[in-house]
Amino acid sequence: MEVVVLPTYAEMSKAAAQIVADVLNTKPNAVLGMATGSTPLGLYQELVRMHREEGLDFTQVTTFNLDEYVGLRPNHSQSYHYFMQENFFKHVNMAAGNIYIPSGTTSNYRSFCEWYERRIQECGGIDVQILGIGSDGHIAFNEPGSSLSSRTRLKTLAQSTIEDNARFFERKEDVPIYAITMGVGTILEARTLVLCASGQNKAAAVAAMVEGPVTSMNTASALQLHPEARVFLDESAAGHLKMREYYDWVKKMKPGAPKV
Ligand code: GLP
């Protein structure tokens, strides 16, 4: 796992966006795994800027989103469909037919989830998966206790997640209780993982993910099992890391390392 600490949220977002851009520049028809939440907003803004100013092209790109709330229609202002449309898709040149987001309103969740998994495979698998982390260590909506080999499925949200996400809804009672989410096993199959975390309220979950044991109690810790996991943090999210000096040393020495 590569851990890169940057002084600010903006620099963290730029560094993570550069990974995505590098992949698109070598593979214009790459498959991207998309995340929602406030953390990846800066990353998306940077990709939009690259699209506008540097011609970063999305016409051949396919995307798969991690998750969606059950019960919210795509045009609901807090649905992840709406989030993606407003914060990313409408600002770049993606083909509408190449966008996949789990359905929060299907009549058959089981068969939808199986189809979603199949579609990822048929599209060649995910090249880069963007991730955030919940304050309880979840990735996507894989709450503590989720199997580390889980696949796309319906999950009940943890009460702490409902509380964390209540800030986006008018009332806490409006936060959906269920979500459809890629599993930890699904996520681990992506070729590269890019996880961003910002802010003090993520510091404990981040330390457990990076330096704690691999455990379903912090599903982000499964990134330790992945050969290409890259973690981008701002100063406050890195606040509880014990090996901080080493991560900074590795970053400083990276330009001189033999090319692999
Ligand atoms: C939700 C999403 C996650 C996201 C997390 C953190 O629970 N399902 O994918 O990582 O929120 O969100 P934020 O970045 O807003 O802290």
Q: Answer yes or no: are the C-beta atoms of 133 and 139 closer than 8 Å.
A: yes
Residue with tokens 């189809």: 115
**Residue entry with tokens 């990076």:** 210
Phi, psi of 94 (to 5 degrees): -75, 145
Q: Residue 42 in 3-state DSSP?
A: helix
Confidence band (pLDDT; 50, 70, 90) for 259?
Answer: confident
Report the atom number in ligand 1 closest to the C-alpha of 161. Answer: 7
Is the pLDDT confidence value at 213 over 90? yes
What does the pLDDT read at residue 73?
96
Whether ligand 1 lies within 6 angstroms of the CB of 141 is answered as yes
Please count the residues of the chain: 260
Percent of the chain with pLDDT over 70: 100
Ligand 1 centroid–CA 258 distance in Å is 36
Nearest CA residue ID for atom 6, ligand 1: 134
Is ligand 1 within 6 A of the CB of residue 132?
A: yes
Q: Is the pLDDT of residue 89 over 90?
A: yes
- The answer to whether the CB of 160 falls within 8 A of the CB of 179 is no
Mean pLDDT calculated for residue range 137-159:
97
Query: What mean pLDDT is predicted for residues 62-87?
Result: 97
In angstroms and rounded to an integer, the radius of gyration of the C-alpha atoms of the chain is: 17
Which two tokens mark 132?
């955030």
183 Cβ closer than 6 Å to some ligand 1 atom = no
**pLDDT score at 183:** 98
Q: How confident is the model at residue 156 (pLDDT cuts 50, 70, 90)?
A: very high
Atom of ligand 1 nearest to the CA of 201: 16
Residue 156, token pair as written in the block: 């009940």
**Dihedral angle, C-alpha 99, 102, 105, 109, nearest 10 °:** 140
The confidence score (pLDDT) of residue 116 equals 98
- Computed over every residue of the chain, the mean pLDDT equals 97
pLDDT at residue 76, as a whole number: 96
pLDDT at 248: 97
- Residue 225 Cα to ligand 1 midpoint, Å, equals 21
pLDDT of residue 258: 93
Q: Report whether pLDDT(144) > 90.
A: yes
Please give the structure tokens belonging to residue 16: 């993570």
Is residue 101 within 8 Å of 81, Cβ to Cβ? yes
Q: Is the CB of 102 under 6 A from ligand 1?
A: no
Q: What b/e string do you get for 207-235 counting C-beta neighbours within 10 Å, with b at 16 or more? A: bbbbbbeebbebbbbbbeebeebbbbbbb
Whether the predicted pLDDT of 260 surpasses 90: no
**Phi, then psi, of 25 in degrees rounded to 5:** -70, -25
137 CA → ligand 1 middle, Å: 10
Compute the half-sphere exposure of residue 1: CA atoms within 13 Å on the CB side of its CA.
Answer: 26
pLDDT-derived band at 14, boundaries 50, 70, 90: very high
Task: Please choose, from the candidates 2, 19, 82, the residue with its C-alpha nearest in 3D space to the C-alpha of residue 56.
Answer: 19
151 pLDDT more than 90? yes
Centre of ligand 1 from the C-alpha of residue 49, in Å: 23
The catalytic site residues sit at 67, 136, 138, 143
The span from the CA of 203 to the CA of 234, in Å, is 10
